[in-house]
Amino acid sequence: MEERMIEFLQAYGGAAYFLSLACNVVISVLGVVPSAFLTAANLTVFGFWPGFWVSFAGEAIGAVVSFVLYRKGLRRWSETTWLSHPKVKPLLHASGKEAFGLIFALRLLPFVPSGAVTFVAAIGRTSLSVFATASSLGKLPALWMEAYAVHQFLEAAWEGKLMLAVASIVLLWFVWRKIGQKAAG
C-alpha cells in the first residue's frame, strides 16, 4: 500500500501536499485505518522533515474534522454500554484542563486507537478548542517517534528488515498463543 501511495503522490507533483493532507483526513475520519503507510510515503516523497510536517498537519486536521463530524453525527451513541466502561468514563465526562491532560496523554501512547480517543472526546464534554490543542500537541512527539522508526526501517538494509519481520512474526505468534490460552482457561 505504501508503494502505491508513493507513486500516487509522486504523480501529482506540487498538489501532492494537499492530496496527502486529504488522505490523512479520510484515514482519521474512518478511525480504524493506520496512518503509518502514509507517513512512510510522505517521508519518501518529501524527505524526513517536510514529510514529518505534512503528516503532522494531516493528522491534526484529520483529528479536528473527525471530531466535528463525530460530534454532529454520532452523539446518539453516547448511550451505548461500552461507554459506561470505567476506563472510558473519565474522558467522556472531562472538560477543560482535565480533558486537555487526558487527550494529550492518550495521544502520546501509540497503542491507544486515535479514532477511539476522538470519538469519546467528541461525544463527551470536551470543547473543540481543547481537543484540537491537546490532540495536536500530543501527536507531535508520537508522530516524531513513528516517523523516526519508519525512516530507520526504510533506510535499513534487507538483512535488518528480515530480522525485524521474523521478530514481528515471533512476537505475534507469542501474543496469539497467550490470547488463546486465556480464552481456553
pLDDT in tens, 64-85: 999 999 988 876 655 555 556 6
Query: For residue 46, what are the domain limits?
Result: 2-184
Residue 32 dihedral angles phi and psi, to the nearest 5°: -125, -5
How long a stretch of residues is the chain?
A: 185
As for how many domains the chain has, the answer is 1
Q: Which pTM was predicted?
A: 0.77
pLDDT in tens, 113-167: 888 889 888 988 899 999 999 999 999 998 998 888 888 877 877 777 687 778 8
Q: Which DSSP letter does residue 25 get?
A: H
Residue 94 dihedral angles phi and psi, to the nearest 5°: -80, 150
